[in-house]
Structure 1
Amino acid sequence: MAAKEHLQEQIRQLPHRPGVYKYFDDEGIIYVGKAIDLRKRVSSYFTKQDHNKKTQQLVKNIKRIEFTIVDSESDAFLLENNLIKQHQPKYNILLKDGKTYPYLLLTNERFPRLIPTRNKRPGDGRYYGPYANLTAMNVLLEMIRMLYPLRTCTYNLSPENVAAGKFKVCLEYHLGNCKGPCEAKEDEETYQQYIHQIRQILNGDLRLPKQYFREKMTQAAQEMQYEQAHQFKLKLDRLDDFQAKSTIVNASLSNIDVFSIASNEKLAFINYLKVMNGSIILTQSVEVQKKLDEPDDEILAPMIMQMREEFESQSKEILTNVPVPDLPLPGVAIAQPQIGDKRKLLELSIKNVLYLRKEKESMTDRSKDLNEVRIMETAKKDLRLKELPKHIECFDNSNFQGDNPVAAMVCFRNAKPSKKDYRHFHIKTVVGPNDFDSMYEIVTRRYRRLLDEGASLPQLIVVDGGKGQLGMGVKALKDLGIWGQIPIIGIAKRLEEIYVPNDPLPLYIDKKSETLRLIQRMRDEAHRFGITFHRSRRDAATLKTELTDVKGLGPITADKLLTKYKSVKKIKELSEADLTAEIGKAKARVLLDYFSQEATPE
C-alpha cells in the first residue's frame, strides 16, 4: 500500500508538459512511453478501469517512475525510440535491427568494383540498400555485371602500379567480362561512364542507361557494325526485361514510401514499398510482437522511422493506411489517400500485409493441427489402439467421499478439451463411500444414455484409478454389451501407472511422453471439474442447513430465500421491510433475531 501511495505522489508531481516516462520494477526498466501531457498520460494507467490484462499486469509491476521533459512531441518520439532500442523493455514492442541485411558496395577505388556485403564500413565507398530480398539483390548484381565489364579483382590499380606492369589480365578478360584496366587496356573515362550509369540503376532510374545503349546501338548500326549493334540491343532488352519485372505504378509517382499495417491480438504485420520513378524498387514485410495490445498507429509510427533509417530513404512523401502521430521528419508529408494512383499504390501495400497476416495465421493453425495429430498418433502407438483417439472421455470420483457424493467426466476432442461435452454426476445408487461401485454407476449411466440417443462413442475411455476402478469400468461396458468396442485404461495416482484390462502389470510409458501428459492433463481436468461441483453442492447444503436450523423457519422458506439471494451474506444485508416483503412479518422477525444473536459476542 505504501508503494502505491508513493507512486500516486510521484504522479501528482508530474508536469503538464510533453516528455518521456519510464516505468521500473525491482530489476530495471519495464516500459518506456511518450506523452504530450506527462501527468495525464501516466495517471491514466492508474485510473482507467478498462485496461486489458497485459496492461493490468504492467501496472501491478510498476515500483518507480522516472520522466524526462522535452520541447515537443517530435522530440519525445525520438527519445522514446532511442530508449526502447537501448533498454529493450519487456512491455514495449521491440524494433528490428537491420544490420544483417545485405548491401551492394560501389567501392571508391580508381576502377570501382560492385560487391555484395553485410558490413558497412565508412570510407569504403557508396552503399546501396539494404536489400530485403537477397535473391532480388543477386539478380540486380548479375544484370549489372552482364551489362558492364566491371573488374572483380582486388588489385590496387594506381597509375604507378599499372604503368610498372605489376599485373596481368586474368580469365575474366579472356571471357569478355572485363576490359583489362590492370594492363591499361580500359581507359578510366569510359569506365567512369559505366559507373555513372550503374549509380543510376542502383538508384532505381533506368532512363540514362537505356538512353546510352539505345544511342550506341543506333551508332553501330549506322556504321554497319551490325554484330556490335546486336550486342547493344541485347543489353537494352535486358534493361527492359528487368524494368518489366518491377511493378510499374505510374511514371509521375517518384520517390514515395508506402507503409501499411494489419494486426491481430498478438502480432502486427507491416509492409513497406519504396517507389522510385514510377516503379517499386523495394518491398519488405515484417511482423512485430505486441506487448500491451498497442493500437496500430503506435506500432506503425516507430516502425516507419526504423525502416526508413534501415533502407536509407530520403523520400519526402509517405503514404499510410492509418493516421500516425506527427513524426520528427521535417519537410516530409504523410497522407492516407482515398482516391487516384496513390490510393491504388496504398491498396497494393495493404493487399501484401493482409496476405502476410493470413499466411501467418494459417501457418499457426496448421501448426496446431499438426501438433494435435502428432499427439493422437503417439497415443495410438503407445496405448496400442486400433484407431486414432480423436474422442476421449475421462471419469473421476475418487475424492468425493462422504456427504454429497458426485463424480465428473471430461471430454477431449482432437487432444483438446471440449467443455461443452463435460458432465457432472450425482451418485444415486451407491450408499457410503465406495469408489468402485460409483465408477460402475457413472460409466453405465454415461454410455447407456449415449446408446439410447444413438450418439457416437469415444475411441478411448480413461478412469482415474488403478486396477479396481478399471475393473468396474470394464464390468459396466460388458453389462451394456459394448465391451470390446471401446478401449479403456486406468491411471493410478501414486506412480502415474497406466493399467489395461486383463493385464496385472502396468503398461510402461515414458514419463516424458506426450501420451502420458495428455492422460495426466485429462485426469487433472476431471478432478478440477469434479471438485468445483462438489464444493458448490457442499456450500449450498451448508447454507440451507444454516437457515433450516433457525427455529420457526422451514425448508421451503430457506429454499425460497437462497434461490433468490444465493448466499446467507446477502440475506443478512436485507432490511426488515425487504425480508417482510419476501417471507412475511413473523418469519422476518424470527430471522432478524437469529442474525442478531449470531452477531452478539459471548
Structure 2
Amino acid sequence: MSNETPETLLNDVKKLPGLPGVYRFFDEAGQILYVGKAKDLKKRVNSYFQRNLSSPRIERMVTRIRSLQTTVTRTETEALILENNLIKELSPPFNILFRDDKSYPYVMLSGHQYPRLAYYRGRVDKRHQYFGPFPNSWAVRNSIQILQKVFQIRTCEDTVFKNRSRPCLLHQIHRCSAPCVGRITDKNYAEDVNKAMKFLEGDHASVMAEFEKAMFTYSENMQFEEAAMMRDRIADLSQVLQQQSMDAVAEGEGDVDVLAIAMKGGLACINLAMVRGGRHLGDRAYFPKMGRFKEDAMPDGDEVMQAFITQHYLSDDAESLKLIPRVMVIQDFKDTPDNEELQQLLNDKAGKKVQILRQPQGQRKHWLTMAQNNAELALTKRLTEAGGQEARTRSLIDVLNLDIENAEDLRIECFDISHTSGEATQASCVVYQKHDMQSSEYRRFNINDIIPGDDYAAMRQVLHRRYANFQEIPTEKQPHIVLVDGGKGQVSMAKEVFDELGLDIHMIVGIAKGEGRKVGLETLIFADQREPLTLGLESPALLLTAQIRDEAHRFAITGMRAKRQKARNVSRLEEIEGIGAKRRQKLLARFGGLKGVVNATIEELQQVEGISKALAEQIYKQLH
C-alpha cells in the first residue's frame, strides 16, 4: 500500500504531532475523501499507511489519498465535535453519513391568553411551549386529537379565534370548550391547559386523579352535568391509554430513545424508537448516505451507531438539545468498549446525565426488541425497493442503447412547466441518479419576460439557463438524458436550444401522454430522428420515466402554488403608498396574514412598528 502512496504524503505523516485533533484526506483532484478524529494524530494517520488495514473499504480509500490536512485540538472531545461539524458540512464519501433534511415535528402550545394547540415543525420560539420531538407527523396529529378529545383545547388560528361570534363545529362535537365566545372561564381553561401539559409530560396518573377529584366535587355539590362531563373525560382518557396498548405506556419511564441496527445486502439501517412521557410514539428509520457498501466492506455495527449518535444528537442547533433524552437504550455489540468521550459530550450538551443502556431489562428490553424487528423490516423494504429501481434503471439504459457500464452513473434531468392560466409561471428541474431521486439537486426557475401561458417559450428559457455553461459542469454531474414533459413540440424546442448551445441532441427524450392520459400509454419522443417508442405498462423503463416525470410535475406545481399564493397575499398591500417590504412583513407577521390585516382596526394597525396614525387610516381605507 505504501508503494502506491506519494512520498511527499508519507513525509507529511511523519511530521504530524502526537496531539489530539482532526484529519482530512483528499484525492488527486482535491476532493474530500474522509474526515476523522484522533487522540494522537501521528499514530492514527500513520495507521492508514500500514500493510494490514481494517477493511476493504479503507483500502480503497487509501489508494486514492494524495494529500491531507490536520487541525490540532486541546482534547479528544473537541476533536469529536469538530469532526461532526466537518462531516455535516463536507459530506465526505468515505464517512458514514446520516443526512436528513426534515426536522422533527412538535406539539405546540401558543403563548396566548387562551393557548392554542398546533402541529409545528421548524425553529422553536421562546414565546410558545413545545412538546416532543415526535418521530413523525402521525404521532403529533394523534396526540393533538387526544388532547382535543380529553381536554378540549382550541386548535383554531388566532385570527379565526379573534373574529368568532358563535361556537364552531368542534365545540358542538365536544372537541373545544369555545373560549372564543366565553363558553369557559379563563381559570377553567387555564386548568385544562395545565392538565394537557401534564399529560404531554407523561404524568397520566396525576391528570386522572384531578379529573376524579373534580367529578366527586361536582357530584357532592349537585352539579350533575359537570360531574357527567368529568366522567366522560375520565372514560376518554382511560380509553386513550388503553389504545396505546399495555406494553406501550410505562409510568415513570419519562423520555427514552431506543436505537437498533440492521445490516444486510450492503446496506445499514438504524431504527430510532421514541418514548416521550412514557408513551411509545413510534419510530423512524435512518440509512447512511454513503452509497451502498460492498458486502466485504461493511463497517461494524458500533461504528455505524457511534456515527449516528454523534451526527444526530450533537449538532449545534437548538433542536438537537431537545433531542437528547435522559435514557438511551442501544443495541449491544460484543467486545465493544464504552465511548467515554461520547458519553461525556452528551452529558455536557444536555446539561444532565444521560444514561446509556446496552443490556436493558423489562419494558426497555421489549422496546429494544421491537426496534430491532422494525430495523429489519425497514431494511428489507429498502432492499426490495432498491432492487426494483436498479432493474428499472438498467432497463432504461438497455432500451435507449446507452453506453453506461455502471447503472448507478446514469443521470437524468427532467423539466416541467407549471402555471395557472399564465400566472406565476415556474419551471422545475429534478434529478435522478444512483437509482434514486436526488432532492438536494432539484432546482426551480422563475420564468419571466414571456407571453403568459407560452409553455414553449418557458421551456426554451429554462433549458438555456440550465445548460448555457454546460462545459463547466463536472463530468459526473452532466446528464445522460434530458427528459422533457411533453410531445413533439416540446422536444423540437429543446432541440433548437441544444443546437444553439452546441450540445448533443441524443440526450433529449420527450415523454408524451397517451390517450386519456392513462399510465402505460405514454410514448417516448426523440430529437434525433429515432422512431417514437411505446413501451407499455409492463415496461420497467417506462415506469421509471413516468416516475421521474411525475416528480418533476409535483415539484413544479408546489413551487408555482407557493409563488402564486405569495403574490396574491401581498399584492393589495403593495398597492398602498408608503408600505414597503419591511412594513409589509411586519404587518403580515403581526396579524398572521393578509386576512388578519384586513380585519384589524385603525388602532390595532397603529401598534405595528413604523405605522403612524395617518398611514394606519390609509391602510384601513385602502383595504376596505
| Fold shared by both chains (TM-score > 0.5) | yes
Structure 2 partner of 1:8: 10
Match of 1:171 in 2: 168
The 1:215/1:88 distance shift into structure 2, 3 A limit, reads: same
Q: Which residue of 1 aligns with 2:62?
A: 59
Whether the 8 Å contact between 1:204 and 1:281 is mirrored in structure 2 is: no
Q: Does 1:325 align with 2:330?
A: no
Q: Tell me which of 134, 137, 146 is aligned to 1:134.
A: 137
Ranges in structure 2 where 5+ consecutive residues have no aligned partner: 314-318, 348-352, 401-528, 541-624
CA distance in 1, matches of 2:386, 2:23: 36
Q: State the SS of the aligned residue for 2:288.
A: strand
Q: What are the equivalent positions in structure 2 for 1:299-448 lying under 5 Å apart?
A: 299-308=304-313, 310=320, 312-322=322-332, 323=336, 325-326=339-340, 327=342, 328-330=345-347, 331-337=353-359, 339-364=361-386
C-alpha distance in structure 1 between counterparts of 2:379 and 2:155, whole Å: 42
TM-score (norm 1): 0.55
Q: Is the 8 A contact 1:157 1:182 kept in 2?
A: no
**Aligned counterparts of 1:213 and 1:236: Cα–Cα separation in 2:** 6
Q: What amino acid does structure 1 have at the position aligned with 2:283? A: T
Aligned twin of 2:44: 41
Q: What is the distance in 1 between the residues matched to 2:212 and 2:181?
A: 29
8 Å contact from structure 2 (residues 139, 281) kept in 1: no
Quick one: which amino acid aligns to residue 376 of structure 2? L
Paired letter, 1:139: N
Q: Where in structure 2 are the equivalents of 1:515-526 lying within 5 Å?
A: none
Contact 2:201 2:277 survives alignment (8 Å):
no
Quick one: which of 70, 89, 92 aligns to 2:92?
Answer: 89
Q: What is the deviation of 1:126?
A: 1.6
Q: How far did 1:46 drift?
A: 1.8
The whole-number CA distance in structure 2 between the counterparts of 1:39 and 1:216 is 69
Residue 268 of structure 1: how far off its partner (Å): 1.5
AA at the equivalent of 1:186:
I
One-letter identity of the residue aligned with 1:87: L
1:259 partnered with 2:281: no
The one-letter code of the counterpart of 2:330 is T
Question: 1:128: Cα distance to partner?
Answer: 2.4
Change (3 A) 1:345 1:103: closer
Distance in 1, matches of 2:310 and 2:387, equals 32
Q: Deviations over 1:495-536 (max 9, x none)?
A: xxxxxxxxxxxxx99798999x99xxxxxxxxxxxxxxxxxx
- Which deviates further from its counterpart, 4-13 or 43-52? 43-52
Q: Which amino acid aligns with 1:300?
A: M
AA aligned opposite 1:320: I
Change in Cα spacing, 1:10 to 1:174, as seen in structure 2 (3 Å) is closer
What residue in structure 2 maps to residue 32 of structure 1? 35
Residue 151 in 1 paired to residue 154 in 2?
yes
CA distance in 1, matches of 2:254, 2:15: 49
**Structure 1 residue 367: Cα displacement:** 6.0
Q: Distance in 2 between matches of 1:252 and 1:339?
A: 15
**What does residue 436 of structure 1 align with?**
none
After superposition, the CA RMSD in angstroms is 3.9
Give the match for residue 566 of structure 1: none
**Which stretches in structure 1 are left out of the alignment for 5+ residues?**
380-507, 519-602
Name the residue aligned to 2:283.
283
SS at match of 1:312: helix
2: CA distance, partners of 1:189 / 1:44: 68
Q: Which residue matches 1:584? A: none
1:369 Cα deviation from its structure 2 partner: 7.7
> Is 1:32–1:84's contact at 8 Å kept on the other side of the alignment?
yes
Alpha-carbon offset, residue 122 of structure 1: 2.3
What is the CA–CA distance in structure 2 between the aligned matches of 1:370 and 1:35, rounded to whole Å?
Answer: 43
Q: Percent identity?
A: 25
Shift of 1:80: 0.9
In the aligned structure 1, how far is the partner of 2:43 from the partner of 2:152? 64
Kindly indicate whether the alpha-carbon contact (under 8 Å) linking 1:266 and 1:290 is maintained by their aligned counterparts in 2: no
Please report how far the alpha carbon of residue 51 of structure 1 lies from its aligned counterpart in structure 2 after TM superposition: 5.5
Aligned length: 382
Corresponding position of 1:294: 299
Are the equivalent residues in 2 in contact too, given 1:147–1:235 (CA < 8 A)?
Answer: yes
Q: Residues 204 and 277 of structure 1 are in contact (CA less than 8 Å); yes or no, is this contact kept in structure 2? A: yes
Q: Distance in 1 between matches of 2:392 and 2:4?
A: 50
1:286 Cα shift? 1.7
Determine if contact 1:248/1:280 at 8 Å carries over to the other structure: yes
- DSSP 3-state at the match of 2:322: coil
Structure 2 match to 1:122 = 125
Contact 2:257 2:273 in 1 (8 A): yes
Q: CA deviation at 1:150?
A: 2.7
Cα contact 2:96–2:290 (8 A) shared by 1: yes
Q: Which has the larger radius of gyration?
A: 1
Q: Could you say which residue in structure 2 is the equivalent of 1:494?
A: none
Offset at residue 11 of structure 1 (A): 0.7
Measured in 2, the distance between the counterparts of 1:152 and 1:284 equals 27
CA–CA separation in structure 2 for the residues paired with 1:348 and 1:266: 23
Identify the residue that residue 200 of structure 1 maps to in structure 2: 198
Distance in 1, matches of 2:61 and 2:164, equals: 67
Q: How far did 1:4 drift? A: 1.0
Q: What displacement does 1:305 show?
A: 4.0
Q: How many angstroms does 1:3 deviate by?
A: 7.2
Aligned to 2:24: 22
